[in-house]
Structure formats: C-alpha cells, structure tokens
Amino acid sequence: MRTHTPISGRRARAVALALALSASVVTAGCSDFLEVSNPGAIENPSLDNTNYLQLMFDGVVGDFQPAFAWTALFSGAFTDELRMHHTFFENLEIDQRRVTENNGTYALAVFNGLHRARFMADTVAGRYRTLLGDSADADLRYAKTLAYAGYAYTLLGEQICETRINGQGTPLQPSQLFAEAITRFDAAIASADEVQAAAANIANAATRARVIAGADTARNLARVGAARAALNMNNAAVAIAYAQAVTPAYVSDANPGFRFDTRYRQGSSSGETRRMGNPYWEFVSAGGSWVSLSGTPFAGLNDPRVPHDSAGAISVSSGGAFFVPNAPRSHSTYDGTTTGARFVGSGGAAGTLSSIRLASAIEARYIIAEAQGNTAANLLFLNDQRAIGGDLPLVAPSDAQYFAALRDQRAREFFVDGHRLGDLRRYEAFQGVDLWPTGPMYGGTTTFGDQKCWPTPVSELF
Amino acid sequence: MSLLRIRLAHAGLVAAMLLMAVAGGLSAQTTGSIRGLVVEATTNRPLANAQVTIVGTNRESLTNAAGEFLMVGVPAGSHTLRVEMLGYATTEQQVSVTAGDPLRVTITLAVSAVTLDQIVVTGTPGATSRRSIGNAITKLDASTMTQQTAITSLTELMQAKSPGVQILPNSGTLGAAADIRIRGAASLTNTKPVVFIDGIRYNTEDLGSFTPSGAGTTSFSGQATSAFNFINPSDIESIEIVKGPAAATLYGAEAANGVIQIITKKGSRGEQTMRWDIRTELAQNDWALDIPDNYTTCTAALQAAVDGAGNPIWPGCQGVSTGTILRENPLRDDPASLREGGVQRVSLSARGGGARYSYYFAGDLTQENGIFHNNYNDRNSIRANFTLQPNDWFDVYMTTSYARGNLRLPVGDEAAQGMLLSAFRGRPGRVTGNPLNSGWATTRAEQANAYNNTTKSDRLTLGTTFNVTPFSWFRNRLTLGMDYTTSLAQVLSPPGSVDADFAGVLSAGLVAQRVPRDFVYTVDYTGSVERPLLTDLVSTTSFGAQAVSRRREIVSATGTGLGAPDITLISAAASTVGGSAFSEQKSVGFYIQEMFGWKNRVFLTGAIRADDNSAFGEAFDWIYYPKAQFSWVLSEEPAVSGLLESARINSFRFRTAWGEAGQAPSPFSASQIYTVDRAVLPDGSVVSALRPSSFGNPELVAEHGSEFEVGFDAGLLDDRLGVEFTYYSKKMKDVIVAVSAPGSSGFAGAFYGFTASVLENLGETANSGVELGLSMSPVRTARFAWDANVSLATNSNELVDFGDARTELIVSGQSYGSVQRHREGYPLAGYWFTVPLRDASGAPIPLTPTTVQLDTLQYIGPSAPTREISFANTFTVLRDFRVFVLLDHKGGHYLWNYKEFNRCALNQNCERVNDPALANHRDRPIWTATNAHGYWIEKADFIKLRDVSVSYTLPSRITQRFRANAATLTLAGHNLAMWSDYSGIDPEVNGYGNRAFGRADVYPVPMLRRWSAALNFSF
C-alpha cells in the first residue's frame, strides 16, 4: 500500500487552477485544431462564381466524352456487335445479357458515366442560367452544354431500361428520357440562334466567323440529337424535320456533310489519363484483345465499315482463332480498307487519338430514310450505302426488303459507336423485328440471356 | 508544428538531458555496491532482462544475458531488492549494503503462471497493476521471443501469441502486409487496430508502393505494404494488446478495433555499467510446399488446332498418339524462376545508465531475399532511448528512431504477367505468341524477373514523455510525438527490357514514381490523483486529453516512352503525367476516469471520454464513450481463500468490463465536393475541367462500438498452471459502409480512372467469442523443464442488420466471381455461391458440356477463421539448452480456391482432370465446369508447425575467451510443416491482400519456410 502525502490546500488550489486554465485553453483551441485543408476540392457553394464558367463547361465535355466512348464499347458487347473474351465474370454477364443489379462493371462503364455526363450538363446549364441570367442564351458554351445534356438523356433512353434522375423520384421510361432530351436540344438550338444573332455585334471578323461556326456546330449537334430522340419515340415527322435541318447535309460518301466527333488522346490504363482515352485500345490491342467479332453477324462482311483482321492475327484472352475488330467508320482512324487500322499499334498508344463520331449528317440521312420509308430518294441513298460494302443495288424492293436492307446498312455504318442497342430496341418496338441473338452462344457452352436493356444497378435501389 | 521545429526541440532536449545526467553523475556520497545474479528456481538457469529495483528508490537495473546485475553508488544501509520478470513471481529480498564493500547476492525467481501484480501500460500515468483492470490485456515478452526464434518482423512476433488477435499474413512475398484483427471484424471499412509505440501514435498506412499485381502502374488486386514492420523486433521489450472498447476509452475515437502498445527497451538507472548485445543471423527462405505440375492430354482436337497462319497451336501434341499426357512444371524446372532467398541480419545494442539517467542504443541491418529474384526487403534501423530523472518528482523519456527500408516487389497475384499465374496456367505442349514462353501461360520467368518495382522508405519517430509527480498522490504525464514516413516508390522498365507481350507500356520504357509522406503528430496529457478515502478505500481519479493529427501527401509522376535504356528520368520520357494527393485528419478527445480500490483486491472503475474529429459531418459534434470495470481478487478474500486453496487454486481474480469506443470515418467524407481533372476538348486541346468528386454525407457520424467482457485469471497447482478465460460480446452500431453513390446522382464512380463511393452509417455488427490462455509448467526439474502455453480463441461474427431495406452488399472487387457477400444474419464477407446440384446417387447433373446444374445461392462459410489455437512449448534441458516449438491452428473458415478452379475448369491443366484413373470420377463434370465456383470454396483449416528453435547457451569458459558475459547459439525454423485438407498450396494466402475483406487464392506466394542460425553475444 502506498503512503500518501497530506494535501496542501494552497498547492492543491494552484494545481486545480493550472488544470482548469489548461483545459480552457485546450477546449477553446479544439475547433481551430480540427480545421483541415483539402487542396483537391471545390466545395459546392464555391461554384457559384463566374470565374468558374469555363472550368464548368470543360467539365461537361470532360465527363461526356468518356461516358460516350465506354458506353459505345460495352453496349457493343451487350448487343450483337462484339463478343467479350475478358474472363472477369461481370464482363461475361454483359456478353451473355445476364447483367445483374450487382454488376459493377456495367455500372462503372455505362450507367454511372452517362449519369455523370447528364448531371454535369444539367447542373452546369443551371449554374450558367443562375450566374448569367437571360444572357446565358447568348453564350455558346451554354448552347453546347444543353446539346451535351440532350445526348446524355438520349443515350440513357436508348441504353437503360428505366432510371431515376439525381437519385430521386419515379424512374423515367425511355420515352420520357427522349422527351427530356428534345427539350434540351430545342433549348440548345434556340441558344445557338441567340449566339449567332449576338455575333453580328462582334467587330472582329475572325472572331465573329468562329462564333458563328460554333453556333452552327451546336445547332447541328442538337438537330441530329433531336432527330435521333424523336425517331426513338417513333415520331417520324418530328425526326424528319430535325434531320432535314442539318446543314451541310449528306450528299454522298465523298461529300458527307456535317460531322462532330468526341475527341480522345493519351489514353492509358493508369490514373486519371484513362478518362481522356479512347477505351477501344484497351480492349482491342496488339498484345492481346478482350473482344472479337467471331460468332457475331459482323464477322466476315468484307465491308470497310466493319474492318477486322484475319482470324487469329491478334490473340484474345481465351486463345484460338478469332476476328478482332479494327477502327470502323465512326472512328477517326478509319482507313477505308476491309482490314482496317488497328486501334493501337504494337509500338504505342496511337489508337487513343482516335476520335469517335457523335453526330453527323449521314446519321440525319439515315433517320430520314427510316422515318420516310421506301421512297425513290431513300432507295438511292440505300443503294449508295450498299455499294460501300460491295452489295448490289436493290431494285424495287418491297418495304420489308427495304427496311431489312436499311437496318443492315445502318448497323455497318454505325458499328460500335453506341447506336446498336437503341436500334435493336426501336426495331422491336416499332418495326416488329427482333434482331436480338438468342439460343446457344459462341460454340454452345452457354446461351444468351433475354435482357434487352441495361438494368437498374444496386446503387439505385436503396 | 513543423518537422524542423520538432527536430530542433528534440535536439535541445537531448542536450539538456545529457548535461543534467553529467551533473547528476558528479555527485558523490557514502555508498556501496550490489553485484547480483538472478536465476530460475529449480533449473538454476540465469535469467536475462529481469528488472531489479531497490524499493523506495528510483534505482533499478536489468540483468544481462548471464543473469547478472550491478548496482553501484547504493547508499549504505538496509534495502529491499525487488526482482520482476514476465512469467515469474515477483520476489523481494532484504540486503544490507556497507560503504565501500561490494555485496554479492543471488536471487531466485519461481515460474509463475499468473502475474496479478504485473505492471501494464493502460494510458494512465504511473504504474498500473494488472489486478486493478477489469478487461483482458495480453502482454507479450517480445525480448525473450526475439532471442529464441527466427522472427524478423513485428508481424511474425505477434503471430499466434495472443488469443483473439488474428494475424492473416496474405502472402509470402517479402514486404506484403498482413491483416491484423482483434476480436473479429466489426467495421466494414477499417479493421485495423490502433498502434502506439512508447505512447506515440504509430503510422500503419500503406507505404505507397505500386501495387505489385499489375504491369506498369495499374492496380486492381495484390498486396498492401505497410510501415508497421519498420521496427527492429529486437528493440521491443514487450507488447501489450488491449482488446476492444472496454479498455479503449483511454485511446479515443479510432480505437474500436483494439489497441497495440509497443514498449521499446530502455536502460536502467543506477546500473553505472554499459551492456552490449550483438546478434548475427544468417537465414534462408525457400518454397517448402508442393508445386503442382501442369498437364495436357493430347486430343485429336488439340492436334488439329492451328493459328491464323496455319501453324499448330499445340506442337507438343504433334507426332504423339492421341491420349498422350504431357507433364511440365515450369516453376520447378526453370532455374530462372525460384531461388532460395538468403537473409543476413546484424543487430547491435547497448544499454545502461547512471544514478539519474539511463539509455538504450541499438541498430540493425537486415537484408532479406524472397524466393523470386526480384523480391527483397531490407531494413536498417537505429534507435536511441534516453531517460533522465533530475530529481524525484520529474523525469523525461526521449525516444528517437530512424528506419530505412528498401523493398522490391515482384509482379504477382492475379496479374496476367505474374510468374505464379503464368506458371500455374501453363499448358504443356502449347505455343501461343512468343515461343520462348512455351510451357508458361503468359510470360516466362526471365520476363517476370525483369519487373522492377521498388519502394525506398525512411521513417523517423520522435517522442518525448514528461512524467511529473509534484506530490506522491498526483501524477502527470505528457507525451509529444511525431512519426514521419516518406517513401520513393518506383516502377522502372527501360525500353526493350521486357517483351511487348509482357506489357506494351513497359516494353516501350516506363518510369513511374510516387512519393507519399505521412505525418502523425501526437499530444497526450494524462494525470491522476490518488487519495485514501477510508482506511482501506483508495480513490484514483485520472483525466487526460489527446490530440492526434494525421496528414498524407503524395506526389507522383509517370513517364512513358523512354528513348534509351540508360535514360530513367521522367522528364526525358516522350509522355509524362503527374499528380498529387492530400488527406488530413485530426482528432481531439478528453476523458475522466475514477477508480476505487478496496484493500487492493476489489477495484471498481468508471470513465467517460468525449471525442471530436475533423471527418465528422456538420450534423455531428462530440461523441461520448463511457466505460465501467470491476476486478475482484477473490483469492485474497479471507472468506474464500481457504476454499480456493483446498481446491489447489492459489490465486483467482474475477473481472468484468463494459465500455464503448468508436471509429471515425475517413477524411473529407462528409462534404460534397468537386475537383479539377484534365479533359480533351473537341479541338484536341487538353484543359483543366471540373468533375464531380465526392457525393459526401453531411449526416455521417462515427461508428459506435460497445463491448462487454467477463472472465477470470487463476493460478493453480502452486501457480504452475495459469488460466486466463474471457468471454466477450462486442457490438458496433452506426457501422460505416462504403456504398456506391447513387449512379444517377452524377457522383458515382466511373470506369475511367476513379471510383467514388459514399460513406453511410448503416446497421450493426456483432462479435462474440471466448479466449482461453493456459500457462503450464508440467515438468520442472533441475535437468529438464517443460513450459507450455496454450492459446485458444473463438470468434462468432455477424452482420446483424443493415438498418435499411437492403439485406446484402457484394464485397467489391471480386474479379472472378462474386463469391463473398456481406449479408444480414451471417458473417461479414462470408462465402456464398450456387453449389452444384446432385442426383440421388450424388453425381452432379451436367447442363452443357462445360457447365453443371446449380442449386440456389447458399451460404458456404466464413472467410475469416472462427477458431484459433496455438500451442507453444519451451523445453529447457541441462540448463543451457532450450527448445521452442510453436504449433498454430486456424480453422472454421473457407477460402475461394480460384487458382485450382481456373486450372481445372478453364485451363484443364490440373492433375485431376488429366489423370486417366479419374476419368470416370463422379465429380469430374464439376471439375471441368465453368460455373461451379461453389465447389472450389474449400475449407481452409490448417495446422502449421510455425516455429521450432534450439538455443544453446555457450559455457562461460568459451564466452570468456571473447570477454563476453554470455553467448547463445540459436538454430531456428519458421513455417516448417503444414497439415491441411485444402487442395490449394497454402490456405493462408490471399491475393486480395490490399483489401479489407476480399479473400481468394489468386496466385499469391505461399508462406515461406525459413531456416536460420543466430549467434548472440552479450558483453
């Protein structure tokens, strides 16, 4: 047992006072002490600042472009365009159309990305309106932001079975998503008109011309998008109206008219730079590919719009003799040959520079051809397209023959650029044609599932 | 406080301390000396590191390796010597010192399995006896363990030594970090205990190494690295493990997973001598377990298969008859694959002290090579610990340690370029791509060996502790500390050093560097007031405040396309990219505790702690954690002591405790934030662009854990059998779960370069189990003694409730199948899958040629052990020989044997699907089924012969030739044998070592066997 020194009252009071003072100082300093810095963050309220207008617009582009590219790639595997050889089971689910709500690959590659693009476009458009008031309409960035928003909604409508917006409310059906898209496209067109009108006041001729060209691009981008959305709503008249307004229009393969590409560069599998790259190089590379055309209706077409190597020229993860796709028509590295240019060469990542076509006059022309049907002008257009792949022209085809041929040519023209899933859904819904692959898949080891749109991921369920 | 200021302050204190020490040493008085020997009763074996103190003074000494101690300058007169040592009963002996006359004494310590009066570090100042604490604390005698085994790291030191402490090592790759869990996993985001070293918060974060499971700089699985092992095990005196919230009230808002207190060695005041210890060790690591062969059965289809150019894909099957079986083992047959990794270690220490000071200096050089040619882990460290006591009411302890690590990691785990993946998936007779890779699946050993992933780290830990005792009833302790770690992680691949098919980005030349810097600052004040209230009732009031600040800064850069092999500068690369990251977290807490002690045998304690943390959301401020403890030494109660003695129970203590502790969320998790990233505009220019970064959760609060435990400590059969039993029940509420932000929110993660999740307080987890420790001395004679320790622990883990509509979460990042789920009513990260359906005869039912029919999803079992048993034996023969044997069992859990699933079902190169004798085996359709994952989730029970060592203390006639006090030769083996029904190589491995819960056998390196020989000299 320890002995205890009697407590001196004076000393005890002094000690108690010292402790109390210390505690007061420490407590008072707590709130300051707990302040931490985060140099990598911009808090939400800080964005209500006109200094951030350009940063926000660039963010719209920065999130849309990878979302579009990754959606194009993975929807290719989900539909009949590509066969997925990657051995991770979530990729196989996608290939088989048995995607569960827990499939993180799909969520990360398609659903989340499209919503990031949609959210950024919507929220930046809102901030422009808040910060600039009505003058936002005369800002070209605002017009383009609205067009990107329209495409994000259009892609969501084509891809996803149904989806909430911003984690709230009742899920919107595709027709509602397309309607939302058209609203934004219309606003984009109106804004582009304002931009063009305001450009008349720009004294510098070069600047004025650049602004007017930008307004043209924004307007055409929105027109093609609106036509695409309207077609998916089976609203032929509206689709035709938007499509016919696209200028310069498609004339011929040599004179294709308007085209707008999403741009990529420096893609690599590490860090942030992946967001800037065209993902096809990761999945179709000389060192070993994760996707092929083998077993799909796109193998062996001998069509430059669907180019591929000879079987086995590039190994795939599971080995064997497979047809590996090369840069198709929609990619800027398209070379017009039936073998095509590889997405990436053996010496580097050149393929990551390949841009992907987002909107074009030829798409507007295809929309017209589908919405108007079997007319003489459209048959002429169709036969021109058939000639690219070496097919003979159709002569007085029936409507069924016409639409079958049109579907075939459209599939080739827009190969792996994100159109196919929306097309298959539209054909089934409005043309009564089911082109989804069914039954045994690829050698008979398993069968295709029956999904025809991407499901709602688990993150949306709680 | 800046690093520079702390260093300057530290240097100043060192100088002041030395001056005071010199001054203290100059004082002269009428004194004598005590030269003593401490030996073990019965065997007369000298006992090293026994603490000898003169009662009522601050004089103390430690015995050297020969069991000797010396105290000089002892005032003449009668004194009481007290000798304490872990595992022995404390002994006191009266001595009489005559001025100028050396006194010689021999003190005998009896082995005691129960040490109620053992002093433990609990967070309060002054000496705290174990008898007064209501919860279980394990105290490991690290000093002895490092002497008699082949331990090279802190992780190995703790392995299988304490009931309830799970060490899950994950991989035999040198430098790979282990998972440490105390009393099971309670949190879904962080299961790590908090570590303190001499009262300073010790950083256990990842070193920032590039994940060794991907070529280039990708990372998706693999092993974490850790600063945890940046301490020389020989510097550790003891380790105390505080298990859970009941005791963690003193440690704050991050202690819900338990606390590990590391106490380093110190000198002893009053010794007036210097002791030197030198240890040299040579060892060898090797792959001791089976290496499975690869098989190919040549079929007509294989013989006919050709590539696009018409060349046979299976040249090995050409010209042989159909049905020929080819057999290869690239790992065993290719001399470039595996090696025997040498280990060299030298450590040197000196300790001693004067009348008013003590010191401990130590340094070590360790070079350890793994079984791959590109795996090594070197560590150099120095340590200086000073204690200065200028007067009886004040002392200051200063510790300084510096460690330098040099780690090289091989590419491994589920990386396509990993040597083990390539070897185990190899298909004899097949050539795809480069013919040089024949026999391997992806790449050959030579290429894998060229992978150059290094991490050079520096760690500086500074700490100063002031103990102020202005009155005998009032004690104060203030600890200031800083732990600073910085690394240079680098992946370097000169152009042309690897084939393009190894990894294109590497073959073009790549240098990637990452420099993380971790700062951890600790300020810890605690005081206690002890007052007698009644004759036998003592009140001890403790109070304190702690502040911990942690900051991590990372700068990284990558250059690709190096022009020439000699160029390794990032700035010279054709393409460069850089980045930086930052995180910071601060916590502050206060506590007050009241303990009442009745006749030094009944103790009742109550306490409450208040914490605040920078990561808490706006809707949350202070959090409070109460605790209560009760301890009753029944064997000292006159009313029951007779009854206990009649049952040969010498000592018996009942204890129970209840308490709460918490765990703060990760930094910045409450705020919704954007950041800036790069983007390509349609004109091709690259600009800075806004992007959503974190959804944030302003409602986020700390996890709140409560724990109840009850148990007893007993000494039986003259204290030759010690029993420590504890039952615990731990619940964690407001469990923080990282869930994906709603995909439609715009803040959810995407596939191109970042992931974003949101932390939510969901649900509740529960852990319960028993812990039993038995300490025995079954045989104790002068010529032979057998001491044994049995440790048994069980853990029942359950996710009780998510707290919302969901019933499960898939464990993220399982590339080869969602086999693990967090599901309500079941253990966290339990294994779930659809097992094959069987007909009435038990045969599987084929679905397609490569699939079988599956049952509905079902629970298979837990992924973490539910029981652990270790059996440690020390045999002392003829006083100078000691044999140590440690058996380690873990069981009750399962492991996803993906490697064998892949070999059999996907590659069809495993033995069982190629053995003609098994062609008609009932389960063969399952072996080749691509959908029968559940079949390969196997029981992972094992018993390992973890350590065997033989130590021999050389006769004094030999040691005296070297002027040494003692010399010990130790031959030791680690991971020598294994017994398990698991069909993979090693059930301890986990290819997802860098994740909290994912566990799968995806080609990690099995645990290495190590043989070592060590020689210890003490001077």
Contacts of B543 in chain A (CB under 8 A): 19
Cβ contact B69:B61 at 8 Å: yes
Quick check: A42 and B674 CB within 8 A? yes
Quick check: A120 and B817 CB within 8 A? no
Instruction: Supply the angle between the helices A53-78 and A89-96 in degrees, to the nearest 10.
Output: 70
Question: Is the peptide bond between A45 and the residue preceding it cis, with omega within 30 degrees of 0?
Answer: no
Contacts of B512 in chain A (CB under 8 A): 270
Quick check: B743 and A43 CB within 8 A? no
Q: What is the pLDDT, as a whole number, of residue A90? A: 87
> How big is chain B, counted in residues?
1019
Q: How far is A124 from chain B (nearest CA, A)?
A: 10
The closest CB to that of A34, out of B525, B612, B749, belongs to B612
B contact test, residue of A54, A87, A170, A268 with most B CBs within 10 A? A268
A contact test, residue of B690, B740, B762, B802 with most A CBs within 10 A? B690
Contacts of B677 in chain A (CB under 8 A): 59, 62, 272, 275
- The identity of residue B534, as a single letter, is L
DSSP character at residue B954: P
The closest CB to that of B751, out of A1, A113, A264, belongs to A113
Poorest-pLDDT segment among A286-295, A368-377, B879-888, B920-929? A286-295
The answer, for B812 touching chain A at a CB cutoff of 8 Å, is yes
* Among A100-109, A447-456, B32-41, the range of highest mean pLDDT: A447-456
The answer, for B691 touching chain A at a CB cutoff of 8 Å, is yes
| Residues of chain B numbered 461-500 and touching chain A (CB < 8 Å) | 470-474, 500
The closest CB to that of B750, out of A36, A112, A166, belongs to A112
Residue A267 has pLDDT above 80, yes or no: no
Q: What percent of chain A has pLDDT over 70?
A: 86
B502-540 exposure pattern, b = at least 16 Cβ within 10 A, e = fewer: bbbbbbbbbbbbbbbbbbbbbbbbbbbbbeeeeeeebeb
Which chain A residue lies closest to B675 (C-alpha atoms)? Answer: A41
Instruction: Supply the angle between the helices A361-372 and A399-413 in degrees, to the nearest 10.
Output: 160
Q: How far is B442 from chain A (nearest CA, A)?
A: 10
Token code pair at residue B99:
């001025």
Q: Is B224 exposed, middle or buried (0-12, 13-18, 19+ CB in 10 A)?
A: buried
Which chain B residue lies closest to A109 (C-alpha atoms)? Answer: B751
Q: How many CB pairs under 8 A join A and B?
A: 314
Report, in angstroms and rounded to the nearest whole number, the Rg of chain B calculated over CA atoms. Answer: 30
Contacts of B474 in chain A (CB under 8 A): 15
Contacts of A461 in chain B (CB under 8 A): 805-806
Quick check: B674 and A47 CB within 8 A? yes
Quick check: A287 and B503 CB within 8 A? yes
Q: What is the pLDDT, as a whole number, of residue B601? A: 93
| Residues of chain B numbered 304-363 and touching chain A (CB < 8 Å) | 305-309, 313
Q: How far is B315 from chain A (nearest CA, A)?
A: 14
A contact test, residue of B473, B505, B570, B752 with most A CBs within 10 A? B752
CA B221 to each of CA A268, B373, B598, B809, B986: distance values in angstroms, whole numbers, following the listed order: 18, 21, 55, 19, 18
The closest CB to that of B849, out of A269, A321, A445, belongs to A445
Q: What is the pLDDT, as a whole number, of residue A23? A: 59
The closest CB to that of B806, out of A43, A167, A462, belongs to A462
Q: What is the pLDDT, as a whole number, of residue B619? A: 63
Mean pLDDT within A206-213: 96
The closest CB to that of B744, out of A19, A163, A286, belongs to A163
Q: What is the pLDDT, as a whole number, of residue A7? A: 43
pLDDT along chain B (1019 residues), means of 10: 45 46 46 88 84 80 83 86 86 89 90 75 73 86 80 84 85 89 83 90 86 54 80 90 72 80 84 77 90 95 80 91 96 93 93 86 94 94 93 90 94 84 93 82 88 93 93 90 95 82 73 93 92 91 92 89 84 82 88 93 93 74 88 92 88 92 77 86 88 85 88 88 94 86 88 72 91 90 91 95 86 78 94 92 88 90 95 91 94 96 92 95 93 93 95 88 86 94 95 85 93 90
The closest CB to that of A108, out of B543, B751, B810, belongs to B751
Contacts of B668 in chain A (CB under 8 A): 36, 38, 41
Residue A207 has pLDDT above 90, yes or no: yes
Quick check: A41 and B432 CB within 8 A? no
A contact test, residue of B680, B739, B822, B992 with most A CBs within 10 A? B680
Q: How far is A223 from chain B (nearest CA, A)?
A: 18
- The identity of residue A147, as a single letter, is A
Report, in angstroms and rounded to the nearest whole number, the Rg of chain A calculated over CA atoms. Answer: 28
Contacts of A7 in chain B (CB under 8 A): 471, 473, 531
Instruction: Supply the angle between the helices A376-388 and A361-372 in degrees, to the nearest 10.
Output: 130
The closest CB to that of A55, out of B577, B586, B689, belongs to B689
| Residues of chain B numbered 527-546 and touching chain A (CB < 8 Å) | 527, 530-532, 543, 545
DSSP symbols for A326-392: ---TTBTT--SSSS---SS-TTS-GGGG--EEEEEHHHHHHHHHHHH-S-HHHHHHHHHHHHHTTPP
Contacts of A120 in chain B (CB under 8 A): 690-692, 746
What is the C-alpha separation between B361 and B373, in angstroms, rounded? Answer: 34
Beta strands B102-109; B31-40: pairing state: parallel
Quick check: A15 and B501 CB within 8 A? no
Residue A304 has pLDDT above 80, yes or no: yes
What is the C-alpha separation between A103 and A100, in angstroms, rounded? Answer: 5
The answer, for B415 touching chain A at a CB cutoff of 8 Å, is no
DSSP character at residue B665: P
**Number of Cβ within a 10 Å radius of residue B120:** 21
Token code pair at residue A28:
């008072």
Token code pair at residue A434:
């089911």
A385-409 confidence digits (pLDDT tens): 999 999 999 999 999 999 999 999 9
Quick check: B752 and A285 CB within 8 A? no
